[in-house]
Amino acid sequence: MTSVYGTQEQPKYAVLIGDGMADQPMPELGERTPLQAARTPNMDLMASRGRSGMVRNVPTGMSPGSDVAILSILGYDPGIYYTGRAPLEAARLGIHLSKDQTAFRCNLITVEGGNIVDYAAGHISSEEAKELVVFLDQRLGDDSIKFYPGMSYRNICVFKGLQPDEVECTPPHDVMGQPMENHLPSGKKSGLLRELMLRSLPLLEQHRVNISRTNRHLNPANMIWLWGQGTTPTMPMFKDRFGLDGGVISAVDLVQGLAKLLGLQCIDVPGATGYYDTNYQGKGDYACRFLRDSDFILVHVEAPDEASHNADLDEKIRSIERFDEMVVGPVYRQLMALPRFRIMVLPDHPTPIRLRTHTSDPVPFVCQGEGIPADDAECYSETDARRSGLEFDHGHELIEAFIRRQKW
């Protein structure tokens, strides 16, 4: 049943994710975290009126990526349902994987002097990336290997006759500045992947797209990097589990693909890029508009995570402030006008600037709404959330309590 906006029939629910917002205390911020240093009046107001706590979205022993973490946030135990990052992105692109096919994330990266210097090839445009990926499919693809363009540096390569556990791969953002030879795939069938990745280097270096990028002093997309392999997961629909019509706003393929697999509507926002220049205001406005006729919205903003990978402290603080002002603020004010609602804000995982990559540590969350008593927190931060004493060791259980309006 689709809810009637503003009536008693069905509460409204909003989950707002600032990807990688959580961090560690930094000397240059007086031992505060970027989240503490940022001006976040809306999240702070939520914290003063609601309940804060800590949640572990990445189970022990699993890779700390947004794929695992957002699966948890949506209420699905990654230990049961996670099969890899790439199949989620493949689902977003409408790629159907047969039982004997494995999808890989195919990053377009920049290699210089044998080192990985940019996991995103200068955040190459989707138009340029598409031309390169189509070219690679023509030159390196065959009946068992197929390349598919995605968004910007995030693309897909599908292999037939190769199982996910036959190779071990490393995310390129985890080994920035390191020799690429030290981190090429390993395992039983890694030779095929290694050969493909190394063959891409001379082909891409001479492509007109990269010659043009180099002439414009932009990082060339001169190599592919394969990782995140997996097969299509089988999961119950979100509405079957929670009884809610819902949608997802994100510029990231894996989040959109996960939404598609769960039967949630993917809401396209013009100007949403998954980078610093994303349309924050548009994401907030579209979320408010969607909630008028639906029960549940999840909004994901990638920019804080990208800033951490780039070790860009100023941009991380700025992206957190924009998230608070243009996404959290409008959605929060709209829900506050309703008699029944719940809103939650959290990161998926920490991305400490010092490390330039993800960790599996717990992250702070804040919830406000029907049946959620206020605690003593005065602002939203890692420190205040930890002080509350409320902890969820299994991330997928948080949304159960959030949506089913359990006692807090």
3-state secondary structure of 299: strand
Report the distance separating Cα 389 and Cα 364, nearest Å.
11
Cα-based angle 246, 249, 252 (whole degrees, multiple of 5) = 130
Task: Write down the pTM of the prediction.
Answer: 0.89
- Dump strand ranges (E) for 87-222: 101-112, 115-118, 145-151, 154-160
CB of 336 closer than 8 Å to CB of 321: no
Q: Determine the pLDDT at residue 5.
A: 38
Whose CA is closest to 119, among 47, 177, 184, 191? 177
CB of 42 closer than 8 Å to CB of 50: no
DSSP 8-state class, residue 189: T
Ordered per-residue pLDDT tens for the chain, 408 residues? 343 333 457 899 999 999 999 999 999 999 999 999 999 999 999 999 999 999 999 999 999 999 999 999 999 999 999 999 999 999 999 999 999 999 999 999 999 999 999 999 999 999 999 999 999 999 999 999 999 999 999 999 999 999 999 999 999 999 999 999 999 999 999 999 999 999 999 999 999 999 999 999 999 999 999 999 999 999 999 999 999 999 999 999 999 999 999 999 999 999 999 999 999 999 999 999 999 999 999 999 999 999 999 999 999 999 999 999 999 999 999 999 999 999 999 999 999 999 999 999 999 999 999 999 999 999 999 999 999 999 999 999 999 999 986 656
Cα torsion for 140, 144, 149, 152, to the nearest 10°? -70
CA 332 to chain centre: 22
Half-sphere exposure of 165 (CA within 13 A, CB side): 1
- Residue 134 gets the label, from left (phi > 0), alpha (psi -120 to 50) or beta, of alpha
Q: Where are the domains of the chain?
A: 12-81+235-403, 90-230
Which stretches within 85-169 are classed as H helix?
86-92, 126-140
Please identify, in words, the CATH class of the domain defined by 12-81+235-403: alpha beta
